[in-house]
Structure 1
Amino acid sequence: MTTAEFIREYRERDIRQLALQANRFPDVDMPYALDQIQGWQIARRKLPKWAACDGVIFPPHLSMEQCSSEPTAQYKLNLAMEWAERVGHAGRMTDLTGGFGVDFSFTSCAFTSATYVERSEQLCHIVEHNLPLLGLNNATVVCADAVEYLSTVEPQTMLFLDPARRDEHGAKTVMLADCTPDVVQLLPKLLEKSRFTMLKLSPMLDWHKAVDDLQGTVREVHIVSVGGECKELLLVLSTVVESELKVYCADLSTASAPSSLFVYTPGSSAIVANSKLKTQNSKFVHEPNASIMKAGCFDELAAAYGVSPVSRNSHLFLSDEPVEGFPGRSFVVERVTTMNKGELRKALAGIEKANIATRNFPLSVAELRKRLKIKDGGDVYIFATTTAEGEHLLLISRKYS
């Protein structure tokens, strides 16, 4: 059996079990085969179009885990197309930190020609092999250091960077200046060489600090979540376009469009926290999506949708009526109870299972679940929170369809 035949036949098997059976297949390059099987299994989840493409070569595990998913890559393509139209030019783009090439394979479609730059010779060979299989014939692969290449590149419509977010010891970094390459140091050259630059950053990074560090050149901040988990922070830089900073909070459910999108201009909106009476009597509770939680735009959200916060730090919102298009999840409040034992016993009667979340509450989910003696799961949702007056409440709810 050849290595290629082995990969095709066993690609749905557990790679740990396959590794233990390596002696049965002396003609198979087992380390390479296991990398390809593991890569295909990850791609089937993150990159189904790539997984369905015969002949695609996958890189080692770390590159596969760090690469974009199809929904987030498609989002960046849409963003690149919008900005190319905005600057009136869709000529050339260069990805200075190519990696496995997922983002490049998508964003390059917005331009007449595209260059992939990567210092890893192994990744360059893989991408050079994969691009034609994916139908990309407008691309050039260059094995080079991003900083060195940037100093020689001709002016581009778009430059794309995904700085490495680990230090020399492998620890994750959360500051822009600690990433490699150092975007702050490269800023003058990036602005000189492009009409706009797109930065892909860790969702853990403080976007307010990043905007400040980039000295007024950031035109848009995009906080992108998939299925309720914050995945990426995208910054668009330009001196060609002068505009007020806008923040886009997108929660993606498919590759084609966000299931929810909230756009705002950072500013102050004075929203007064709810009174105890309001909290006790509101009919709906709303939980913002992960992108909005990351953005911290709770005042702007409340003003835009006419909802009221339970308290300043609760990050839960209340309304008397359904809120159409709320960017997050909405629930019908069936009962509200304090932590009084008698009230709890009455309010929780008949509830054996529930999904519990704590927001600005003194107990963890595990501690609260133990105290309530309720199993996990079911269609009941309990939000444990603290009102503006400091009262601890449980909002017993069900999803609003």
Structure 2
Amino acid sequence: MSNSIIDILSPKGVREFIHSHLNDDPLTLVLQSKKYPDLPIREIAAQIQSRKKAQVKLPEWYEQEGIIFPHGVSMEQCSSEETAKYKASLVQGKSVVDLTGGFGIDLYYLSRQFKKAVYVEQNKELVHLADYNFGVLKAESIDRLYTTAEEYLSTENTPADIYYIDPARRDEANQKVFQIEDCTPDLNLILPQLLDRRAEVLIKLSPLLDINLALKVLPNVKEVHVVSVKNECKELLFRIVPNYEDETKRIAVNLVSGDQSLFEFLDDDISPAFSQPLEFLYEPNASIMKAGGFNAVANSFYVSKLHRNSHLYTSKKHIENFPGRSFKILAQTVVNKKKLKPFLPQGKANITVRNYPLTVKEIRKKTGIKEGGEVYLFATTLMDGSLAMLVCTRV
């Protein structure tokens, strides 16, 4: 993506062609490029591919006439609209600086909470694209700068209230990395400068990162937000506040069609109750699992764990607001084709494994159970160490 690409894709005729061929296969368009000698088909095909992703990931920008989307890694790594709006709900003030601007999604939504916003990006092509798109979106409050985070901080005159950082998580060979010390820019060098400014810092990191290890590296972390969309963990947000020395709050959030399911906790060390399977079964959402709230969720919702390492919960009465999936337990049996057959008239079931020696694939091979249907099977270990298969339906 470059400034010339903006020139190539912004003419009205090109935009109309893209709009009328959104449902076409991009590869087929490239193979048929001789049919359109006057059009930049390769660039158009790449834009169509990016727009298909944007339709789901960035619906507001997708609907905005004139927006041009990046290709490849930049489109893959940018935040979704839902997660960007969630970040914006966490902060407010007079000024915000995004030290790793990228495509600009996060700062666009963050800027709505501030009088002034500064976009800093070291990739010239992305700067041109952000400048163009912010103009289309009439985001007048955002200043755009082509420079590195380090250079910007060395020349900044007035500190911002909030600094946002989404470090690049790919190495020189374009391979994904997940450890803090492998990311760019180097947080170990930048964070001391930001804390000297007495500013808050919001850092987005990979959902694969070990939270406990990160907390040993990052200073003054007040909150860790584990953000999922439709129960798929998307990102970790570390909120750093100068001089904060108390315990870090963990906030597990699951975003589904504009709604938020939040679970907050400080201490997960209090042992929960344990029980054999009762009337109902619960599986916490992905954010709670990632945040490590295994005991906290049991104690908060008065449910019992089936086993210390199973992370499945049970109760006699249904807990309506449990943050995760809820099931009615129909039967308790074992992984055996004959014993399971009476519960599966269609030979289908949705299988989940929690703390069990076989994988889902191995269970399907052993029992012949096909995927799908309205029955849910949980293969797990119970509090007495015995193995069980719980037959359930959704509540």
Using the size of structure 1 for normalisation, the TM-score is 0.92
Give the Å deviation of 1:203: 0.3
Whole-Å separation in 1 of the counterparts to 2:39 and 2:163: 41
Of the three residues 12, 16, 24, the one matched with 2:23 is: 12
Q: CA RMSD in A?
A: 1.7
* Aligned 1:154-233 pairs, distance under 5 A: 154-215=158-219, 217-233=220-236
Of the three residues 28, 37, 40, the one matched with 2:39 is: 28
Structure 1: unaligned runs, 5 residues or longer? 82-89
Whole-Å separation in 1 of the counterparts to 2:64 and 2:197: 35
Question: Partner of 1:53 in structure 2?
Answer: 64
Give the Å deviation of 1:340: 5.7
* Aligned 1:247-396 pairs, distance under 5 A: 247-255=250-258, 257-258=259-260, 260-274=261-275, 278-279=276-277, 282-339=278-335, 343-346=339-342, 348=343, 350-396=345-391
1:268-313 alpha-carbon deviations (Å, 9 max, x no partner) = 1112432xxx32xx11000010101111110111110111111011
- SS where residue 291 of structure 1 aligns? helix
Whole-Å separation in 1 of the counterparts to 2:48 and 2:336: 55
1:198-221 alpha-carbon deviations (Å, 9 max, x no partner) = 001100011111111013x10000
Structure 2: unaligned runs, 5 residues or longer? 1-11
Give the Å deviation of 1:62: 1.6
Of the three residues 103, 107, 111, the one matched with 2:110 is: 107
* Maintained 8 Å contact 2:268/2:294: no
Give the Å deviation of 1:186: 1.7
1:77-128 alpha-carbon deviations (Å, 9 max, x no partner) = 10123xxxxxxxx111110000100001101111000000111111111111
Whole-Å separation in 2 of the counterparts to 1:319 and 1:267: 20
Whole-Å separation in 2 of the counterparts to 1:245 and 1:63: 31
* Maintained 8 Å contact 2:221/2:244: no
**Amino acid across the alignment from 2:390:** L
- SS where residue 69 of structure 2 aligns? coil
* Maintained 8 Å contact 1:308/1:318: yes
Whole-Å separation in 2 of the counterparts to 1:171 and 1:273: 43
Whole-Å separation in 1 of the counterparts to 2:195 and 2:23: 46
* Maintained 8 Å contact 2:282/2:313: yes
Using the size of structure 2 for normalisation, the TM-score is 0.93
> Number of paired residues?
383
Whole-Å separation in 2 of the counterparts to 1:349 and 1:98: 52
* Aligned 1:239-254 pairs, distance under 5 A: 239=242, 243-254=246-257
- SS where residue 37 of structure 1 aligns? helix
Question: Partner of 1:235 in structure 2?
Answer: 238
Q: Aligned pair in 2 of structure 1 residues 38, 270: CA closer, same or farther (>3 Å)?
A: same
Identity of aligned residues (%): 42
Whole-Å separation in 2 of the counterparts to 1:262 and 1:196: 23
- SS where residue 271 of structure 1 aligns? coil
Give the Å deviation of 1:345: 4.7
